[in-house]
Chains A and B, each alone.
Chain A
Amino acid sequence: MSEPRGGKQAPKGGGHMGGPMGMVIPGAKAKDFKGTLKRLIGYFRPHRIQLIIVFLAAVLSTIFAIVSPKLMGKATTSLFSGMIGLMQGQPKEIVFDFGYIANILLLLIVLYVISALFSYLQQYVMAGVSQKIVYDMREQVNEKLYRLPLKYFDSKMHGDILSRVTNDIDNISNTLQQSLTQLITSIVTIIGVIIMMLTISPLLTLILILTLPLSAIATKQIASKSQKHFIGQQSSLGELNGHVEEMFTGHQVVKAFGYEKKSQQTFDQINAKLYEAGWRAQFISGIIMPVMSFIGNIGYVLVCIVGGILATNGSIEIGDIQAFIQYTRQFTMPIAQTANIANLIQSTIASAERVFEVLDEEEEVPESTQPVTIAAPKGKVEFQHVKFGYKEGHLLMQDINLVVKPGQKIAIVGPTGAGKTTMINLLMRFYELNGGAILIDDVDITCMKRSELRSLFGMVLQDTWLFNGTIHDNLAYAQPETSDIDIIRAAKAARADHFIRTLPEGYKTVLNEEASNISQGQKQLLTIARAILADPTILILDEATSSVDTRTEVHIQEAMNELMKGRTSFVIAHRLSTIRNADLILVMNKGTIIEQGTHDELMEQEGFYADLYNSQFAESTSAG
């Protein structure tokens, strides 16, 4: 809401016109207010000139608006003395100086027009500046996100990061757009109005200023009372949202177990709590405006009385009273607003701080300055004394050594948390090693560009990430310029072609945001097709096929085997049956490779793998 400024607009005791200003929502506080503010101001630097224009325009438009009531008062005074003269029986041609009044009014019109123009100019320029600043900030954060190591994303909730990129930056944008110029105009108005009032009557000014602490105290009292209820409201709302989220996501279970009534009861309880806190918070904060305007009215009445008495003994002119009344109205508004803006700026700085926190996160280790390119990748992979831990001071892998020859199929098995996925993460350099080295075709992967390294791999991950777009675009993700024929061939290889064609729009079917319009297994088939299309040197399947039934999986694997001929591949799978034909099986436990060899070799060892294998098929042998 932009603040009304200018000569005449001050509302008379608009008790209900509180609007959003009545809301006192507990805002977050910044940890380092000054430092963050300084840094935020840094973003203004490229727009210096525009900002100076905004500032000048704001000041000028306010000054012109402040001068006008006094001028208008002069016209009123002239009219009043005319009226008195008329009452004393003098002819109206003599007592009314319409030439003088016309001059004043013409001057007023000019002032008002100029004021309006400047005000428009200020808003117009600010719109560009604030949006561009926010644009830059968004770009910066987004760029940053792609330079952050995966470690960062592991430790943070997606919701939190998302809210920094969107809500917090939005918050900054709104403040820049509205509050900043309001702050300038409010301050100029307060100072200007006080000066103008003093020139009219120091006594009246004193009376008015005396009412100020009154409204400050009242507002503070009410605000602190409502704060408590707002916090209550916020926490009930959080509780309610939590319950709704849980019950809706668990809908199937809620229904199956006949839990609807109980869930509704809980909901009603929280809802009632929310209502109690909510209406109190709203009511108390809603009082602020009537109280403020009542205090404003006290000032108004006092000015009328004292002004009237002063006028009777001729020490003040009638037009000055009129002007003063207008100044009274202009005065209380910006004061209330400045308090409000101060709160807004607090929360904006807190938002800015949260954004800067992202920008300050430690980035990935920079790329090697002289990157090595593997001209004809063969797919030899070597782990040399690899040490690694996700957390500092806590090593998961102590000393991993491994040599994979080009074209080999490597299977990694072991219980959850054994480090199977970690091997892949390290291979792709999603994380940095704590010691040792990983070599591909005898080149240390840290000597290669990350993009170069990752282009060697095709991955099918545990989580089947697809984006909101057509199936065609999702498949062509790695090579946007792939021909339709290649896409269909890949889909066929992944046994996805059939189901895609049963969808309403075939390859042009748009996956919705959660990709919930296809099943988990189907998603997996699509990611497999995507990996096939990427045509990598090394293929990685990370428990990829767990949602696909075994029969389909066999079909896919036939396709894969064909595709993988002559290429290195890593497979992580639960089902031991699918990896029996691997060239090398790595059995991992607690971050180390405890056994390795082919299926037959490992079975002969009668170790961990043999145990695992037998337990899987214990039932089947007894039944078969």
Chain B
Amino acid sequence: MMRLFRYLTSYKWPITAILVLVFVQSLSDLYLPTLMADIVDVGIVHGDTFFIWKVGGFMLLVAAGGGLCAIGASYFSSKVAMSFGRELRAKVFNQVEHYSLQEIDQIGTASLITRTTNDINQVQQVLIMILRIMVAAPMMCIGGIIMASSKDAKLTLVLAVVVPILALAIFLIARKGMPLFKAMQKKLDKLNLVVREGLTGIRVIRSFNRIDLEKRRFNEANSDLTQTAINVNRIMAALMPIMMLTFNLSAVAILWFGGIRVSNMDLQVGDLMAFIQYATQIMFSLVMLSMIFVMVPRASASAIRINEVLDLHSTIYDRSEPVTQTKTTTPGTVEFQDVTFSYPGAEHPALTSITFTARPGQTTAIIGGTGSGKSTILNLVERFYDVTSGAIRVDGLDIRDLPLEQLRAKIGYVPQKVLLFSGSIADNIRFGKEDATDAEIEHAAIIAQAGDFIASMKGGYEAHISQGGTNVSGGQKQRLSIARAIVRQPAIYMFDDSFSALDFKTDALLRAALKEEVEKNQSTLIIVAQRVSTVMDADQIIVLDEGSIAGMGTHQELMQNCEVYQEIVRSQLTEEEIA
């Protein structure tokens, strides 16, 4: 948490202002009992009404001054806390935007979202509390001790006994309570997990008749949480009474010893009354501090999660000095040279010794079983991950020597999992090319076979897509995602199993239109697919099996010499179709 607060250094002036204002305000609060003591010891003792009015008026001024300082402090502290939150949020967001998929996989999307939103809010909330309370409390405490000892140094000995006792009590309770608070949070998370799983898996649970089992799981989590919550609250139940009792007993002690000193003419009664109020303030500030200790652990868990994000740096970044290389191939060529790639921590590489070249104006298709590494190949071209060994070249240049922006600008990519953004259909297609004209968007939509269904939608190209594209069907989403890639007019197209949700008719039409477009622009086309019918007329088919190339060539060639390919074909087509 302290590490995050380092960022506060840029706010040193407003923070100084807060400190000064809070200090003045504490002083004014402490000054009031002193003035009251004057009223008692001078005004009442001598029956001087005018004096009482005069001091009273002054007290009002002091109170007003203190109030103004408090408002000023509130102004600066809200500004500091909120801009701290703003900067931190921007920093974390920016950091994540630079992550490669590897880092995203490592932390997880859902967790990253929580860290950027809730966790930062949590820390910001605590900062507000700290600026409001934690700053004021020590000042109040120190100020109170100074004022008290100026009234009567010997009587301050009572405080010297009581304050440590109180501090110890708070410490002991906090030490007992804090781990329980943490445990409670964990158990709450566990309970939420059980409920969430129960909801998402409701069909499976019912069809497998596991309702009783799920109820038991819930009951275990619930009882566990309840027991901890009761324990926590019972421990915390002791906190307030103990503190109150210490307060009150110390007041009694002050009254007793103070009374003796009054009888010896060492102290006046008004001062004694003021003294009791100082003591109250000192101890109250300790209680305030103790509240912070309850809040901090909650936020520190958040702070740890935020720091994890800030500490994790993308392994993929631009080379600091651009490497100049002479281009040797026609633009759009993608070459894999002996590429091997392992996901971090994996036992076996996902890809082993992959070598091939995808040429402009040609279609390169990649086919293979689940987990054979098809998508990984595309992810490597996009440089979402870096190769473990070997090299990938685009336009004859090693992609690690190209700025990421330049590399990705060449590619029109359609991911396996379709992702649309909230906004109009036109917005979504324009995502691929910011300055695309309406005509370009329409052209892209028509090639992607999306023209008809867009026209049939209310509002046409301006029809709204809800977040995640939940208001269009899977096939429609896929076609929009394809249009988004087409509108870029890229040198390289990459389709990751992007026709799976289309029926065969649309699939065929789309591929025919796409072929025309690709030939016209002499683009490179790389298609990952599972259907043989999608790949069989490609110029080059790469058959992957468990991360290695099992065969490469045209459909006819592979039918002759590649056993894996033959097996795939047999699994999908009938005898007469193969022939």
The answer to whether B223 touches A135, judged by C-beta atoms less than 8 angstroms apart, is yes
Contact between A619 and B202, CB atoms less than 8 A apart = no
> Which chain B residues lie closer than 8 Å to A311 at the CB level?
44
Please pick, from A13, A96, A616, the residue contacting B29 in the complex, using a CB distance under 8 A.
A13
| A249 neighbours in B (Cβ, 8 Å) | 109, 113, 419, 468
Size bin of chain A's contact surface: 35 or more
The interface residues of chain A lying within 8 Å CB-to-CB of B555 are 623
Please determine whether B113 and A624 come into contact, CB atoms closer than 8 angstroms.
no
Partner of A260, one of B70, B98, B255: B98
Give the A-B pair count, Cβ closer than 8 A: 525
Residue in A closest to B568 when the chains form the complex, CB atoms: A551
At the interface, yes or no: B133 with Cβ under 8 Å from chain A?
yes
Partner of B370, one of A166, A281, A552: A552
**Complexed CA–CA distance, A82 and B67 (Å):** 37
CB–CB A19/B129 < 8 A? yes
| Residue A423 interfacial (CB < 8 Å) | no
The answer to whether A251 and B405 touch (CB under 8 A), given A80-B269, A318-B269, is no
Q: B63: nearest residue on chain A (CB-CB)?
A: A297
CB-based contact A146/B211 at 8 Å: yes
> Is the Cβ of B82 less than 8 Å from the Cβ of A16?
no
Pairwise interchain contact A454-B192, C-beta atoms closer than 8 A: no
Chain B residue contacts of A240, Cβ below 8 A: 89, 117
**A166 to B47, alpha carbons, bound, how many Å?**
64
The 4 closest A-B pairs by CB, nearest first: A123-B237, A521-B370, A290-B70, A15-B70
* Cα–Cα, bound, A240→B229 (Å): 33
Give Cα distance in the complex from A131 to B532, angstroms: 60
**CB distance A79 to B259 under 8 Å?**
yes
- The B531-579 residues at the A interface (CB cut-off 8 A) are 531-534, 536-537, 555, 564, 567-568, 570-574, 577-579
- Contact across chains for A76 and B136 when beta carbons are under 8 A apart: no
The answer, yes or no, to whether A378 is at the interface (CB within 8 Å) is no
**Quick check: A4 and B240 within 8 Å, CB to CB?**
yes
**Known contacts A4-B240, A123-B241, A502 near B203 by CB under 8 Å:** no
**B-binding segment of A194-202, A206-214, A261-269, A369-377:** A261-269
Q: A318-B269, A615-B503 are in contact. Are A252 and B67 (CB under 8 A)?
A: no
Contact between chains at B249 and A142 (CB < 8 Å): no
Q: Does A116 contact B (CB under 8 A)?
A: yes
CA distance A378 to B317 in the complex (A): 63
CA distance A291 to B64 in the complex (A): 9
A225 CB → nearest B CB, Å: 14
Q: A255-B384, A312-B48, A454-B208 are in contact. List 9 more A-B contacts (CB 8 A).
A: A72-B255, A108-B252, A142-B198, A162-B195, A275-B82, A282-B128, A430-B203, A551-B568, A616-B503
Contacts A16-B22, A116-B244, A264-B94; A516 near B108 (Cβ below 8 A): yes
Q: Considering the chains assembled together, what is the distance between the CA atoms of A237 and B555 in angstroms?
A: 54
Instruction: Using CB atoms, name the residue of chain A closest to B530.
Output: A549
| A242–B203 CB distance below 8 A | no
* Contact of B360 with A by CB under 8 A: no
Interface residues of A in 512-556 (CB under 8 A from B): 512-514, 516, 519, 521-522, 530, 534, 546-554
Q: Which of B2-10, B170-178, B394-402, B409-417 is found at the contact surface with chain A?
A: B409-417
Q: What B residues does A549 contact at CB under 8 A?
A: 368-370, 372, 530, 568
Chain A: CB-nearest residue to B67: A294
Query: Which residues of chain A have C-beta atoms less than 8 A from B36's C-beta?
Result: 304, 325
User: B573, A577: Cβ atoms under 8 Å?
Assistant: yes
Contact of B255 among A75, A123, A244 (CB under 8 A): A75
Contact B78 A282 (CB under 8 A): yes
Chain A, residues 553-592, CB within 8 Å of chain B (1/0): the string is 1100000000000000000000101001000000000000
What 1/0 flags go to B49-64 for Cβ under 8 Å of A?
1001100100110011
